[in-house]
Structure 1
Amino acid sequence: MHLRTTMIDGQPWFVAADVCRVLGFGLAAGVSKNLTSVPRSDQRRLTPGQIGGKGMSTATVISESGLYKLIMRSDKPEAREFQNWVRRSTRRKFVGAAVGNQQNATPHHPSPGESRPRRKAA
């Protein structure tokens, strides 16, 4: 599985043709046919030299958000491995962030003389 990427404003963007190929989407009618579910704000056209590739003149790239949108809309068997990879990667990302937030959280301990909330009798 090979995806060409580029960084734009510190964020990864993915060559749409590579994503479509990995997901098993047809490219005969062009990449744009497969991008109808991806908002225009998550798509950009790059000119030659902005991203590597043999014989590339221009390329459409999609943001990380656009990537997830395409991945999750595919029901093709070719997409399953890719979907699983994304789920594992994002789960690690979110779990790591949640653990980091919990470690930085400061529990509230009442100061001396501060009353604690009373529990209602059952």
Structure 2
Amino acid sequence: MNPNANVSLFNFNGHDVRVVEIDGEPWFRGADLLTNIYGTSQGKAWAYRPLNPSEITMIDRINLGMKAGRALTFVSESGLYKMVMRSDKPEARQFQDWVTREVLPSIRKDGGYVLGERARCGILSTPSHLLDHPATPPTTTAAR
């Protein structure tokens, strides 16, 4: 694995998530994920146990342009999804609902998911926290 020393920052619910690129794929800083999902990274190492060894890696700080010290834990994209899907926090549930109610059914039905595809039909296609603005919930009509 060859980590790209450029660290990108993404904001999720007001918290930064550091991301590095390894072999063209995003890897997410484990402590940032734990803070977002559980409110803290302290004492949450158990959250990594369900991950496949290929979904977690340790990167030396020096490889990221930092001072020497303890290696940092990074989680692959599939590992990120597993961690979020196992959480019962309301913030994680918004993401879970989006994946299970829109993305996966769209893949099953259409063979793929296009961001915004369902928005043309008047249905929210991404969770409002990903859009950085409040969303109006979709309206429903009773079957006649």
Task: State if a TM-score over 0.5 links the two structures.
Answer: yes
Q: CA deviation digits over 1:5-52, x for unaligned, max 9? A: 0110110010011111100154322x5322011111111000013347
**Equivalent residues in 2 for 1:1-122 (5 A)?**
1=12, 2-24=16-38, 26-29=40-43, 31-51=44-64, 57-83=70-96, 87=99, 91=103, 94-96=112-114
User: What residue ranges of structure 1 are gaps of 5+ in the alignment?
Assistant: 100-122
Q: Which has the higher helix share?
A: 1
3-state SS in 1 of match to 2:75: strand
Aligned AA (1:4): R
Q: Larger C-alpha radius of gyration, 1 or 2?
A: 1
Q: Give the paired residue count.
A: 95
User: TM-score of the superposition, structure 2-length normalised?
Assistant: 0.52
Cα distance in 2 for partners of 1:59, 1:82 equals: 25
User: What residue ranges of structure 2 are gaps of 5+ in the alignment?
Assistant: 1-11, 118-144
Once the two structures are aligned, what percentage of the paired residues are identical? 34
- The CA RMSD over aligned residues, in Å, is 3.4
User: TM-score of the superposition, structure 1-length normalised?
Assistant: 0.61
3-state SS in 2 of match to 1:33: helix
Cα distance in 2 for partners of 1:37, 1:18 equals: 18
